[in-house]
Chains A and B, each alone.
Chain A
Amino acid sequence: MTSSYPRLRVLPITKNDLGAEYDLVVVALGFECRARFCAESLSLNSRKRVALVFPDRQVHSFEENKAILVDRGYDLVHVEDIEVATIVAGLIRDIELSEERPFRRVALDVSSLSRVRMAGLFSGISSSGIEDSVAVDFIYAIAEFTPPTEVYTPNAHVGPVSPRFAGWSEEPEQPPALILGLGYEQDRALGAVEHLQPGSVWTFVPTSSIPEYSPALRTANSILLEAIPPNRLLSYVVERPFDCFVELESIVHGILGQNMPVLIPFGPKIFAINCLLVAALHTPHVAVWRVSPGVAEEPVNRFASGEISCIRAVFTPPIFEA
């Protein structure tokens, strides 16, 4: 079963569908231990392997990750957030030019990627100038439960994850419709609702094979969950992102024309990928926002649980409207 659109097709895949010959594999090199999990445990064969290095908070598992990724043939690319799109587009073009075989397949390990960098990767793929379709496998290593941090860091950014995902409304008098993916940071989603003052609110509540997350999430969002009507409380299984994508896209499709959808993906990053996919599908009418302290946020080491979540998207240029 697929969801089709002239420029973007999203397909369900499993872990068994990963590992075929890729043209490019991109992972993040940061402080989380799970940043190396996919590189270590999955057979991601590729002509080019790249680790996008975070310039900040090179602590916890950073050095260990670095050694392992280098050992496994990853090129370390030191890049600021704002450069990700350009770097990735350049990588794709270089690979396309260097080989006889057309550029076709990418694997992106988003486990330790920031939402900004995810958006940058989307932009990089779309601006690469590749004329044919590119299949992108998004891979997410679900983390073992780590209690939510009690250290508060003020937000540095509350707004579109990138200018490309700010959305655009032809009827600005319509208030936004907010679709939230919940996480377990105390009242983070509630604050976003209070701040944005949307015309309607929908919430996606994650469940997964890691049972500790659910009670922590309910506690952290108790006031919000109490206030949301039952028909707007939706749940999704982290290990089944395609089902989530279908439901999310359906909700957004229903909202379009009446309100401007604004998606804020707290919680598992695979939901953030789904948000970006839906926004790309309906560009420019859907916005994706992030609420983040940025580099000031306390680094919390997260360890892979062993469970993988993945989804495939086939991009056919031009992905974004001119």
Chain B
Amino acid sequence: MSNPIHAPSIFESNNARTLRPNQVARTFIPPAKFSVLTRRRNTVIVGPRGSGKTTMLKMLQQPALESWEHTSAEEYRQKIDYSTAFIAADLSWGAQLEALGDGRLDADTHRRVGSAAFTAHVLRALLNGMMHRVGQSENHAAHPIRRVSITNDQEGGIVRELASAWSLKPSIASLSALRRSLSHRLVSIREFASREAVLGDSGRANRVAAEPSLHLHFLQAASQGIEVFNDAVGEPDGKWALLFDELEIAPVWIREELIRSLRGTDDNIMLKLALSPYSFEAGLLESTLGAAVGNDFDQISLWYADKNEGYAFCEQLWYGMLEERGLPALQPKDVLGQSYFDTAPVEWAATGTAYGPGSRLGKLFIGMAEKDSTFHSHLEAKGIDPHALHLVAPGDRAAEIRKIAPLVAVRDYYRAWASESKIRVGHKRSRKQATLYAGASSLFAITEGNPRWFIGIVDVLLDWMGKDKDRIPGTVQADELVKSAQRFSALLRTIPLPAELRTGKSERWLLSILNSIGTYFHRKVVLDDFVPEPPGSFTVDANTPDSVIQLLNQAINSGAIVYLPDDGAQVLLASLKGKTFRLSYLLAPIHKTPIRRGVSVSLSSILRNTRPDTQHQLPLGDD
């Protein structure tokens, strides 16, 4: 991989935000929904952390497209006939905006200085886009697109007009100097806010009125800039897409403004907005005054309710990662092995069936029927003889066998584990248990098609493999699955409580709620009487406490729970009430649950039937 002396940590290398566009492009595998994002329309792209929102937006940037070598790259280069400006965001920047004025400004002034800073940020991004167009930002592009040539005089003309419109005074008439003047503006805005914090209210209205930078509107200013540039390069109808990343971090008034703007903006501007699934402002989209999906904007969800939907994308990522490392294009199943829940071709080869009495699955059913009277009763009721599964005719009973086989596998595995008397210590126990989830299809499902999770896990596994091994043992995979869950647990424990919950005492915090749900599902699958369709998802019913719902808002945005929409058109949620979710499969090895959706039960009933968990961390150690 990288130079070992300067190798980035996994945190850096897997984070698109830290990568330049051409770096993102080097390994980008376009998911099916990327084509929707590239359309000449407003787009709202929705997904939890790590789902690829930033990556996809960055890929719309000119430097990324110009360096992209994927087989479909040229098709997209032809298709994307508009310019772009990428407006980044992160928690640190959000905190800086929040802190302007040291917390001593009135709400209106604070909003003005925050908006002014945001406007400067947007205009800097726009200038970056312009500089890409005129070839000022990259020395070499493998596949230059949409380049325009401008003379020094033309550049000077653009700069003078924009400087006038944006109240800037660049040192020289160049785009880079104009961009620097916006950096200086950011300094000035902070200084203004700091002075106002000291000066107080008296005379503030006049001081605010006298500061031109506080009265620019980011969309209007951007529109002015685009018009000036387009005219200068002879593209009066040239289209620009403003790419707003991580909008949940931006101040609320900016989010609201952008969402309202989906309804209609300047003809030359498209908006591409990246949001987390739960967003209070989603209500604006739903209201009659808001924009309509399909009419005013496209909507893209970057998660997979069904595990099979993400497999193809994971496979592409897999091959891409192998190629990046110079490894041969080995099939996932050849390297990671068959999942415990699948039937391997070899199991069919000899007899033409994977369910003979001597087969793995046959033995599983026979053994379970002998040990578990409730399972035995179920088979009896269905007219299924465990010793003769292979003789069951195609139809409902065969479908029944295929449906319950993965459940039987989990039930058997953990019942056998629980009965062992050997003592296992700490994480070693969890890692051994997690080998059940090794194997290509299970591993892919567990990553939820989330690029960051997938790359984070597979990167380490491929490091282990190197160039002299062609198979990764289940124990190695299990080890990494548990570590990934531990990293995820650390993240979930870090997310601060919503402000409304900080003063109260509660027995249930985010991880304890997730643990309660996981424990409940595990009990239903493994410990209670066998049922062919155990619960595996939950509905946030009317009896769910508001405090729990507030915590679940965090869970969905972090990816800990996955929304299962009834209506495929709705992906942004203003409220979780009445909606159905499942736990992320990343948590399946920890909660010892099957990698399947399961029927839905009300969340309040789950919480009533489970004790509050006092550990407040994922059960990574001994039971």
Binding site for B on A (CB under 8 A): 152, 154-160, 162-164, 166-173, 175-176, 186-188, 190-201, 223, 227-229, 231-232, 260, 262, 284, 287, 289, 291, 294, 296, 321-322
Contacts and interface: CB of A to CB of B under 8 A. Distances in A.
A231 B493 contact: no
Interface string B103-130: 1000000000000000001001100100
A166 B95 contact: yes
14 contacts: A154-B493, A155-B496, A156-B497, A162-B102, A163-B98, A166-B99, A168-B96, A168-B190, A169-B93, A175-B17, A175-B88, A175-B90, A229-B9, A322-B195
Contacts of B5: 231
Interface string B10-25: 1110010110000000
B186 A190 contact: no
A173 B124 contact: yes
Given A154-B616, A158-B495, A196-B91, 17 more contacts: A152-B615, A152-B617, A155-B497, A157-B496, A158-B494, A162-B102, A173-B125, A187-B493, A190-B490, A194-B494, A196-B92, A198-B11, A198-B18, A201-B12, A227-B11, A291-B494, A322-B194
A284 B193 CA distance: 13
B102 A163 contact: yes
B496 A163 contact: no
A166 B93 CA distance: 9
Contacts of B509: 152, 154
Contact of B494 (A195, A199, A200): A195
B268 interface: no
B7 interface: yes
Contacts of A201: 9, 11-12
Nearest to B128: A173
A163 B494 contact: no
B186 A168 contact: yes
B325 interface: no
Interface string B265-303: 000000000000000000000000000000000000000
B interface, size bucket: 35 or more
Interface in B461-498: 483, 486-497
Nearest to B54: A197
B92 A287 contact: yes
Max count, chain A CB within 10 A of own CB: residue among B17, B101, B494 = B494
B11 A197 contact: yes
B190 A191 contact: no
Nearest to A127: B198
Contacts of A198: 11-12, 18
Contacts of A154: 493, 496-497, 509-510, 616
Contact of A191 (B89, B91, B187, B490): B490
A243 B469 CA distance: 45
A170 B495 contact: no
Interface string B603-623: 000000000000111000000
Contacts of B486: 187, 190, 223
B92 A200 contact: no
Nearest to A170: B183
A163 B103 contact: yes
B99 A294 contact: no
Most buried by A among B10, B198, B489, B493: B493
Among all A-B residue pairs, the 7 with the closest Cβ atoms: A191-B494, A166-B99, A191-B490, A152-B616, A163-B99, A194-B491, A187-B490
Contact of B92 (A187, A188, A260): A260
A172 B88 contact: yes
Contacts of A152: 493, 509, 615-617
B140 interface: no
Interface in B505-525: 509-510
Contact of A175 (B18, B497, B616): B18
A198 B9 CA distance: 11
A188 B494 CA distance: 7
A191 B490 CA distance: 4
B545 interface: no
A322 B96 CA distance: 16
Contacts of B10: 227
A173 B198 CA distance: 29
Contact of B186 (A159, A170, A195, A223): A170
A262 B495 contact: no
A158 B128 CA distance: 32
A188 B490 CA distance: 7
A228 B139 CA distance: 32
A284 B495 CA distance: 26
A316 to B, nearest CB: 19
Contact of B96 (A166, A190, A321): A166
B621 to A, nearest CB: 11
A294 B198 CA distance: 28
B6 A231 contact: yes
Contact of B91 (A155, A168, A195): A195
B427 to A, nearest CB: 9
B491 A195 contact: yes
Interface string B206-222: 00000000000000000
Contact of A287 (B15, B18, B95, B186): B95
A200 B18 contact: yes
B171 to A, nearest CB: 15
B536 to A, nearest CB: 26
Contacts of B493: 152, 154-155, 187, 191
Most A-side CB within 10 Å, residue of B92, B96, B128, B617 = B92
Contacts of A186: 617
Nearest to B189: A168
A84 to B, nearest CB: 14
A227 B9 contact: yes
Contact of A228 (B9, B102, B103): B9
B191 interface: yes
A163 B105 CA distance: 12
Contacts of B6: 229, 231
Contacts of B121: 172-173
Contacts of B497: 154-156
Interface in B1-60: 5-12, 15, 17-18
Contacts of A156: 496-497, 502
A195 B615 contact: no
A322 B615 CA distance: 47
Contacts of A187: 486, 489-490, 493
Contacts of A197: 11, 15, 17-18, 90-91
A173 B16 CA distance: 12
| Most chain B beta carbons < 10 A, residue from A188, A190, A322 | A190
A294 B96 contact: no
Contacts of B12: 198-201
A290 to B, nearest CB: 11
Contacts of A200: 8-9, 12, 18
A175 B11 CA distance: 12
Nearest to A196: B91
A163 B98 CA distance: 8
B52 to A, nearest CB: 14
Contacts of A231: 5-6
B116 to A, nearest CB: 13
A81 to B, nearest CB: 12
A123 to B, nearest CB: 8
A287 B96 contact: yes
Contacts of A228: 9
